[in-house]
């Protein structure tokens, strides 16, 4: 017992314990994200019940559900501005505020108007939560960045499972109040962690950046080297800034903020196009359609499972595969996981589409191997959590240069959330216009295109520092993979002693 305690203390004091704590605290907001995403599945059935204290029709129910999604892009854009001006940590803390307001308004609602308002406000918070990934990317060492960023999808899955489970046994008002407590916890615990050292350095607060790095790393040699790399990156982005190695010149460059020409640099527009295309293919492959309409797909597949049980099953499966994905991302390349995930998604949807084409004319009880569509859908949800769902969100925080990372960390998620809203909104019409097998084949084709896209264009960022990732887009291809393996060495004059 004494040895275990000593090991735990050493990990906290001299290992990566403080970095892990910072990542966990930042991602507590992700639990609230999962709660918001899953809440409509709990709320709407209770509202549509004849005994509900607030009676709604189908149109009003649709608005209550969609307002939790339509405001996501607004929140993401807000987070981009806040991250650039107020800081990453402050933005993570501010994200808890609309969650608190939204859940409180929902829990105290007496009519549809307040429910819609609460859903809209909490939807803004979902968009703002993209700041968590940028913060975690900037406080993590390269070798830990993947697994710590993967805490986000895990915590989202915990939130979905939590709200589904509570909604099966409690009224939605009680569920809302419990969700308020999670938001309050997030707001308080952010005070325990430091601001992003990269953001502090970008604002010329080099001494504060050094102190934050020492708190996180606890090793002066590691903190010195990392601070030197950050300052050198700022100097390079500022065309030297007149500071020789990244000191005073880096501070003057940072104080001016990002310029228009910074956004036109290859290191910005290339990852922007890659991530936007990744998000488009992600939505086209049906990952969020299946997640938002899981019960509908189970019914189409001929399942007789209880609706609540089916929802809890999907949420539990997401959680298990999110944890599995976080383990894999520490040992496998990003491109490998993305391609494998997309290929397996295509195979599962093609198999489901083939089955529906062959046997859709028969009654459910007369179909041979009637379990096949259900297994295909569950398998699709499982493998999507290994790459196609989490990777584009995780890579937002690591693919853009420091001087524009805040703005782009808000802009790209806003587009991602907009694509989610479009697909979720048009899905009922799509399911009415097309046969089930056609929808499955459409998803399969999109997943196959996504696999090809990831193979051709997605850069490998595993194990690379954020500066090395930036260099992938600034330098010409040199090794036949489409991206160079360029080693970063900080200039000697950029070293600041913070010990």
The number of residues making up the chain comes to 499
Residue for token pair 């502090």: 200
Report in angstroms the alpha-carbon separations of 250 from 206, 235, 491: 10, 5, 13
Report in angstroms the alpha-carbon separations of 108 from 49, 73, 112, 386, 499: 19, 26, 11, 38, 52
Select the more confidently predicted residue: 485 or 94: 94
CA 125 to the chain's CA centroid: 13
Cβ contacts of residue 369 below 8 Å, gap of 6+? 355
Confidence (pLDDT) at 338 = 94
Confidence (pLDDT) at 222 = 84
379 vs 443: CA distance, rounded Å: 14
Query: Does 486 have pLDDT greater than 60?
Result: no
Query: Does 293 have pLDDT greater than 70?
Result: no
155 vs 148: CA distance, rounded Å: 11
Instruction: Report, as an integer, the average pLDDT of 201-223.
Output: 89
Instruction: Give the distance between the most distant pair of CA atoms in the chain.
Output: 78
Tokens of 343: 């290929």
Residue 52 DSSP symbol: -
Residue for token pair 């406000």: 121
CA 229 to the chain's CA centroid: 26
Instruction: Report, as an integer, the average pLDDT of 73-85.
Output: 93
* Residue-wise pLDDT tens digits, 395-450: 888 888 888 888 888 899 999 989 988 887 787 778 778 887 888 899 999 999 99
Confidence (pLDDT) at 38 = 84
3-state secondary structure of 265: coil
CB 76 within 8 Å of CB 414: yes
Instruction: Say how many CA atoms lie within 13 Å of 275 toward its Cβ.
Output: 27
Report in angstroms the alpha-carbon separations of 189 from 33, 125, 431: 17, 17, 43
- The mean predicted confidence, pLDDT, of the chain is 82
SS (H, E, C) 199-214: HHHHCCCHHHHHHHHH
Instruction: Report, as an integer, the average pLDDT of 123-144.
Output: 91
467 vs 398: CA distance, rounded Å: 9
> Residue 394's closest CA among 180, 160, 132?
132
Confidence (pLDDT) at 238 = 56
Query: Does 89 have pLDDT greater than 60?
Result: yes
Angle at CA of residue 446, ends 444 and 452, nearest 5°? 105
> Residue 290's closest CA among 381, 370, 373?
381
Instruction: Please report which confidence band the pLDDT of residue 257 belongs to, taking 50, 70 and 90 as the band edges.
Output: low
394 vs 404: CA distance, rounded Å: 17
Our CA dihedral for 81, 82, 83, 87, rounded to 10 degrees, sits at 140
Taken in order 472, 476, 480, 486, the sign of the CA dihedral is: negative
Share of the chain above pLDDT 70, in %: 83
Instruction: Please report which confidence band the pLDDT of residue 377 belongs to, taking 50, 70 and 90 as the band edges.
Output: confident
Instruction: Please report which confidence band the pLDDT of residue 394 belongs to, taking 50, 70 and 90 as the band edges.
Output: confident
Tokens of 118: 């609460």
Query: Does 391 have pLDDT greater than 50?
Result: yes
Select the more confidently predicted residue: 77 or 8: 77
Query: Does 359 have pLDDT greater than 80?
Result: no
Select the more confidently predicted residue: 44 or 340: 340
Confidence (pLDDT) at 296 = 61
CB 386 within 8 Å of CB 325: yes
Instruction: Report, as an integer, the average pLDDT of 122-137.
Output: 93
* Residue-wise pLDDT tens digits, 18-76: 889 999 999 999 999 999 988 887 887 888 877 778 878 877 877 887 788 889 999 99
Instruction: Please report which confidence band the pLDDT of residue 265 belongs to, taking 50, 70 and 90 as the band edges.
Output: confident
26-57 exposure pattern, b = at least 16 Cβ within 10 A, e = fewer: bbbbbbbbbbbbbbbbbbbbbbeeeeeebebe
Query: Does 135 have pLDDT greater than 90?
Result: yes
Residue 479 DSSP symbol: S
46 vs 323: CA distance, rounded Å: 31
CB 459 within 8 Å of CB 472: yes
Confidence (pLDDT) at 436 = 78
46 vs 37: CA distance, rounded Å: 16
Confidence (pLDDT) at 236 = 65
Residue for token pair 């093609």: 350
Share of the chain above pLDDT 90, in %: 36
100 vs 94: CA distance, rounded Å: 10
478 vs 471: CA distance, rounded Å: 12
Instruction: Report, as an integer, the average pLDDT of 330-350.
Output: 92
> Residue 412's closest CA among 425, 394, 428?
394
């Amino acid at each position: 017992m004494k040895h275990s305690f000593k090991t735990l203390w050493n990990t906290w004091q001299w290992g990566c314990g403080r970095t892990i704590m910072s990542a966990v605290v930042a991602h507590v907001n992700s639990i609230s994200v999962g709660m918001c995403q899953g809440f409509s599945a709990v709320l709407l059935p209770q509202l549509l019940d004849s005994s509900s204290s607030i009676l709604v029709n189908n149109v009003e129910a649709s608005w209550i559900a969609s307002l939790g999604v339509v405001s996501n892009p607004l929140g993401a854009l807000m987070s981009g501005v806040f991250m650039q001006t107020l800081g990453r940590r402050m933005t993570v803390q501010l994200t808890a505020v609309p969650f608190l307001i939204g859940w409180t308004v929902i829990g105290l609602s007496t009519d549809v108007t307040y429910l819609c308002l609460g859903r809209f406000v909490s939807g803004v918070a979902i968009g703002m939560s993209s700041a968590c990934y940028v913060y975690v990317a900037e406080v993590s060492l390269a070798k830990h960045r993947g697994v710590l960023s993967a805490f986000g999808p895990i915590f989202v899955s915990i939130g979905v499972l939590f709200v589904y489970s509570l909604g099966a046994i409690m009224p939605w008002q009680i569920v809302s109040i419990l969700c308020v407590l999670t938001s309050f916890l997030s707001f308080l615990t952010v005070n325990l962690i430091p601001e992003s050292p990269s953001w502090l350095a970008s604002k010329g607060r080099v001494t504060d950046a050094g102190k934050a790095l020492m708190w996180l790393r606890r090793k002066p040699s590691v903190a010195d080297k990392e601070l030197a790399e950050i300052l050198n990156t700022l100097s390079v982005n500022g065309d030297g800034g007149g500071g020789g190695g990244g000191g005073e010149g880096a501070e003057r460059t940072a104080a001016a903020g990002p310029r228009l020409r910074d956004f036109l640099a290859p290191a910005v527009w290339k990852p922007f196009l890659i991530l936007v295309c990744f998000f488009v293919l992600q939505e086209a492959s049906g990952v969020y359609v299946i997640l938002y309409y899981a019960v509908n797909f189970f019914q189409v597949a001929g399942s007789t499972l209880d609706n609540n049980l089916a929802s809890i099953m999907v949420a539990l499966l997401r959680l298990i595969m999110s944890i599995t994905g976080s383990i894999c991302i520490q040992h496998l390349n990003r491109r490998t996981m993305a391609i494998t995930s997309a290929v397996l998604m295509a195979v599962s949807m093609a198999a489901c589409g083939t089955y529906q084409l062959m046997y859709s004319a028969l009654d459910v009880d007369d179909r041979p191997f009637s379990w096949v569509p259900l297994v295909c859908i569950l398998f699709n949800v499982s493998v999507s959590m290994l790459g196609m769902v989490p990777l584009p969100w995780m890579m937002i925080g690591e693919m853009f240069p420091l001087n524009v990372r805040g703005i782009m960390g808000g802009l790209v998620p806003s587009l991602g959330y907009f694509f989610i809203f479009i697909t979720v909104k048009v899905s009922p019409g799509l399911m009415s216009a097309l046969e089930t097998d056609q929808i499955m084949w459409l998803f399969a084709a999109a997943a196959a295109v996504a696999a090809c896209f990831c193979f051709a264009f997605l850069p490998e960022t595993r194990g690379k520092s954020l500066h090395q990732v930036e260099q992938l887009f600034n330098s010409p291809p040199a090794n036949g993979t489409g991206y160079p393996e360029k080693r970063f060495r900080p200039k000697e004059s950029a070293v600041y002693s913070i010990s």
